[in-house]
Amino acid sequence: MKHLSLVFSVLTSTCLAQSNWPQFRGAGGLGIGSGKPPVEVSTEKNLKWQADVPFGHSSPCIWENKIALTGLADGKLVTFCLNRADGRELWRVAAPAEKIEAAHRIGSPAAPTCCTDGERVISYFGSFGVIAYDWNGKELWKKPLPAPVVEFGTSASPIIADGKVIIVADQDVGSYMIALDVKTGAKGWRVDRREFRRGFSTPLIWRHGGVEELIVCGSLWTRSYDLKDGKQRWSAGGLSRVSNTSPVATDDALLVCGWNVGGDEDDRVEMEAYDSFLAAHDADKNGLLGENEFPAGPLRDRYTIIDADKDGKVTKDEYDTMRAMFAKAENQLCAIKPGGSGDITTTHVTWQQTKHLPYVFTPVVTNGRVFTVKGGGLASAYDVKSGSPIYQAERLEGASGEYYASAVSADGRVYVVSQRGVVSVLDASSDKLNVLARNDLKAPVFASPAIVDGVIYIRTDKTLFAFGQ
């Protein structure tokens, strides 16, 4: 096995997002590593090495004997490379960003994970755009892109497929997707996604029956595109208004998941008609709505989302757009069968689960099951074919808190890591929750682990650990 790239960023979920990896397909789904990683991991048990790394939330991108990561160091956004054998830093290069974009209070401007085709390392920073390096750190090309219009920062990671670097830039104004030639950075095609608002989900290449589809989860909809020209193939409704998790798949099923405030039947956020709301709250009578004119509550809490262009004034169009999203949002985990075209919401969605959903954590599929963890440490497992719960909302004792890192699996086990740094190892074949080990790294974790040749790599806020037998 030569390469692995996990994609993660805070406020998005993670999944494997690189092309040409048959070892991550089929019955194993995505997020499946190789070899026999250890069950117990700590600074005293099964530690091969640890390396100090700059602050960042990107996950390891591994090719042969090298690991690429990104971070923020001395006020600069950097891509750096470590020796896989001992963690020694081989090179570090700063991106030519003139201004570092804002990020969520627990986020990072170095959130998207690098990807590789074996020759090139691709880094994407919302503060600059896309940069390609060789594996010695030499810059090959760069493509500046506008910083996305969202105050939480950039999160969706780039992927490589069909000789193209795919960037999904869903934001509050002007969402788009672009394909760049992996060798030169030249633009191949561009898709207008202006009907989508902010999103943090990394796209997926779904392979089934000799077909390749580019899958993108966004506000309210999952869509499939043709890799060659970016033309839309199908759409499936039934997602939350903000897409944080990323899709995963087997040959027979695409699994998409979304949860956000206002998408549950018992937790709807109601917005009255704009004219009546304006009449009641437009204190200065200028026909627009400032933040202080929204009454305290869920709408004022989401003022920066409603104010799409961030000019401090909510217009009728901005208000009505968000009102429609709240009305249509659905929180669910669902399975989609292959072969659709057009609107497939009622024809190709084979099952749905609407309770105990993860917020950011992307599920993993292995052993014919899909595994999720909701914030608070509530673990669930479902049969991939039927959606029937194997177990649901079972508490991971000693591993409460939020979950931003996505699950990975190897050797019949599932590894999940809490924000607080507790690594729970689950038996993937058990018909009840069976926690094989609970390991406390005693440091925050936002990046998803990577497993290669029996070694599991876990990034905390300051350290990259390599654990192996």
What's the CA gap between 130 and 128, in Å, rounded? Answer: 7
- pLDDT per residue as tens digits for the range 154-203: 999 999 999 999 999 999 999 999 999 999 999 999 999 999 999 999 99
- pLDDT per residue as tens digits for the range 380-391: 999 999 999 999
Q: In this structure, what DSSP letter does residue 432 have?
A: S
pLDDT at 33 (0 to 100):
86
Dihedral over alpha carbons 23, 29, 31, 37 (to 10 degrees): -60
What's the CA gap between 220 and 452, in Å, rounded? Answer: 35
Q: Which residue has the tokens 């607080």?
A: 420
Reply yes or no on whether the pLDDT at 28 is more than 50: no
Reply yes or no on whether the pLDDT at 310 is more than 50: yes
Mean pLDDT in residue range 314-326? 96
Reply yes or no on whether the pLDDT at 4 is more than 70: no
Mean pLDDT of the chain, nearest integer: 92
Contact 110, 56 (CB under 8 A): yes
Reply yes or no on whether the pLDDT at 436 is more than 90: yes
Reply yes or no on whether the pLDDT at 2 is more than 60: no
Reply yes or no on whether the pLDDT at 1 is more than 50: no
In the Cβ-directed half-sphere of 52, how many Cα atoms lie within 13 Å?
A: 1
pLDDT at 263 (0 to 100):
79
Read off the pLDDT band of 5 (50, 70, 90). Answer: very low
User: Strands 115-116, 120-125: parallel, antiparallel or unpaired by DSSP?
Assistant: antiparallel
Mean pLDDT in residue range 260-287? 90
Mean pLDDT in residue range 313-334? 96
Helix, strand or coil for residue 266?
coil
pLDDT at 19 (0 to 100):
28
- Report the topology of domain 3-260+329-467: Methylamine Dehydrogenase; Chain H (2.130.10)
Read off the pLDDT band of 26 (50, 70, 90). Answer: very low
pTM, two decimals, is 0.93
Reply yes or no on whether the pLDDT at 14 is more than 50: no
Reply yes or no on whether the pLDDT at 6 is more than 60: no
Per the DSSP assignment, residues forming a β-bridge with 98 are none
Distance of CA 92 to the CA centre of its chain: 25
Mean pLDDT in residue range 394-416? 97
Reply yes or no on whether the pLDDT at 266 is more than 80: no
User: Strands 342-343, 232-237: parallel, antiparallel or unpaired by DSSP?
Assistant: parallel
What's the CA gap between 6 and 60, in Å, rounded? Answer: 6
Nearest to 196 by CA among 170, 167, 225: 170
CATH level 2 (architecture), domain 274-327: Orthogonal Bundle (1.10)
C-alpha separations of 203 from 244, 290, 400, 422 in Å: 11, 35, 29, 27
Q: In this structure, what DSSP letter does residue 24 have?
A: G
Q: How many CB atoms lie within 10 A of CB 453?
A: 15
For residue 72, report the phi and psi dihedrals to the nearest 5 degrees: -115, 115
- Domain ranges in the chain are 3-260+329-467, 274-327
- pLDDT per residue as tens digits for the range 68-88: 999 999 999 999 999 999 999
pLDDT at 265 (0 to 100):
75
Q: In this structure, what DSSP letter does residue 448 have?
A: P
Nearest to 408 by CA among 17, 24, 32, 28: 32
For residue 326, report the phi and psi dihedrals to the nearest 5 degrees: -60, -35
